[in-house]
Structure 1
C-alpha cells in the first residue's frame, strides 16, 4: 500500500483540469525527446542489434504521444472521481494514485536519457521494470476509484511490457554496452 505524499505529487490543479492533465505528459515527453536529440537517438536505435519484433523508429513518437495523452486523461478522471466522491476510501485512493502517477511519470521521463543519452541499458531496463510495477499498481488503485481510469492504463501497461522486452533485448544483444555503438555499426 502506498500513501499520498504531497512533496512527491504533482499539484492538484494538474489533475483537476483535463487539458493540463492530458498536455503535461505529452509536452514533458516531447521535451525529453527533443532534449535527447532525435537525430542521435534514431542513429543509435538503428545501429543497435535489435530483438525480433522491434518496430521502426518512426512508430515510437505517435505511440508515446497517444499513451501520454491517455495516461493524462486517466489521471484527470481518477482524481476527479475520487475527490468528488462521498467515499473517503475513494478520496484516499485517488490521492495515493496521484503520488504513484507522479512517480511513474518521473520514471517514464528518465528512461530515454538513460537508454539513449547515457547509453546505460542496465539502468534503463531496471527503470522500465520499476515503471511497469508502479503502473500495474496504479491501474489497480485507480481502478478502484474509477474503473475506466484503471482500464485506460492497460494499453500503457502492454506497451511498457513490450518496451521492457525491447530494452532488455537491446541490452543483451549489445553486451549491455552502448558506448561507441554508432562507430561500431559503421565499422561492421
Structure 2
C-alpha cells in the first residue's frame, strides 16, 4: 500500500471512529434528554450548570475517538478496542437509564461499571500508545466526577 493510500485509509478510519464515538451516546441522548424531572431534583453543591455538559462531552468524545484511532493504527481491532466498544456501550446505556427510567440507583451501577471499563481501556491503550492513554485521562477524570454527581443525586433524592 502506498503512503498516500495509507494516509487516505487512515484519515477515513479517524472519521469512522469519530462517527461511531459520537453516534452511540447521541442516539440515546436524542431519546432521553434531561427535562423537568432532572431540573426538579435536589442537586449537590458541585453540580455544574446544564450548559457545561454539552461542550465537555464534545471534547471528551473527540479525544476518545482520536485515542481509539491511534490504537487502531498500531494494533487494529485487538482487545484494547474491544474494551473501547464495551465502555462506549456502557456510556450510551447510562442516559436512558438515568434520564429515561429516572433510575438513579441503577444509573449509579452503570456509571461505576463504565468507570471500571474506562480504567481498563485506559490501561490497555497506554500499553499500545502513550498518547492514546493520555487522551483518555480527561474522560476518566470526568466520569469520576460524574459518578460523584450520580451518587449525590441518588443520595439527595432517594
More helix by share: 2
Query: Do they fold alike, i.e. is TM over 0.5?
Result: yes
CA RMSD of aligned residues (A): 1.9
Deviation at 1:137, TM superposition (A): 1.2
Q: If the length of structure 2 is used for normalisation, what is the TM-score?
A: 0.88
2:94–2:107: 8 Å Cα contact kept in structure 1? yes
Distance 2:132 2:50 in 1: 29
Question: After superposition, where does 1:1-188 map in structure 2 within 5 Å?
Answer: 17-36=13-32, 38=33, 41-83=34-76, 95-175=78-158
- Segments of structure 1 that go 5 or more residues without pairing to the other structure are 1-12, 84-93, 176-188
1:22–1:70: 8 Å Cα contact kept in structure 2? no
Deviations 1:79-108 (A, max 9, x none): 11224xxxxxxxxxx611111111100100
Deviation at 1:42, TM superposition (A): 3.2
1:26–1:68: 8 Å Cα contact kept in structure 2? yes
- Asked which structure has the greater CA Rg, the reply is 1
**Which runs of at least 4 in structure 1 moved beyond 4 Å after TM superposition?**
none
Tell which deviates more after alignment, 115-124 or 22-31: 22-31
Q: If the length of structure 1 is used for normalisation, what is the TM-score?
A: 0.75
